């Protein structure tokens, strides 16, 4: 019964069920030592940090920010930086957003952030 539920969930998200010993299951509850053709998935593509190009302007902007600075996020709105960890592409901000959004952790290089609008 558990395998059937796992298979149902896997089918909905485009995944497959693999057991503890490496066996694969399909929706007939049959197990296979190698995934049958209908359960094969595309290979995982590795993305390396060196493949990711962040615009210089964005890197300079991120590097210029400090604790207590305000930023604008496309989805969450205006927020104040509470904490900064990491460096380079791994820089993370803990930001308290206004309007009841709350506190979020954002990966600075990939978050849709920009300088806060000045009135």
Domains observed in the chain: 2-39 (no CATH), 51-115 (2.40.10.170)
What are 67-116's pLDDT values in tens digits? 999 999 998 999 999 999 988 778 999 999 998 889 999 999 888 999 98
CA 27 to chain centre: 29
How confident is the model at residue 5, as a pLDDT? 78
What is the pTM (predicted TM-score) of this model?
Answer: 0.57
How confident is the model at residue 55, as a pLDDT? 83
How confident is the model at residue 28, as a pLDDT? 67
Closest CA to 103 of 95, 111, 92: 95
């Amino acid at each position: 019964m558990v395998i059937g539920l796992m298979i149902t969930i896997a089918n909905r998200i485009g995944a497959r069920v693999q057991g503890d010993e490496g066996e694969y299951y399909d929706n007939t509850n049959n197990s296979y030592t190698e995934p049958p053709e209908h359960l094969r998935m595309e290979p995982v593509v590795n993305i390396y940090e060196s493949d990711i190009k962040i615009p210089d302007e964005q890197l300079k902007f991120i590097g210029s920010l400090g604790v207590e600075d305000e930023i604008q996020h496309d989805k969450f709105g205006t927020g104040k930086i509470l904490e900064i960890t990491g460096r380079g592409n791994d820089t993370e901000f803990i930001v308290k957003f206004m309007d009841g959004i709350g506190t979020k952790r954002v990966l600075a290089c990939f978050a849709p952030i920009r300088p806060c609008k000045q009135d």
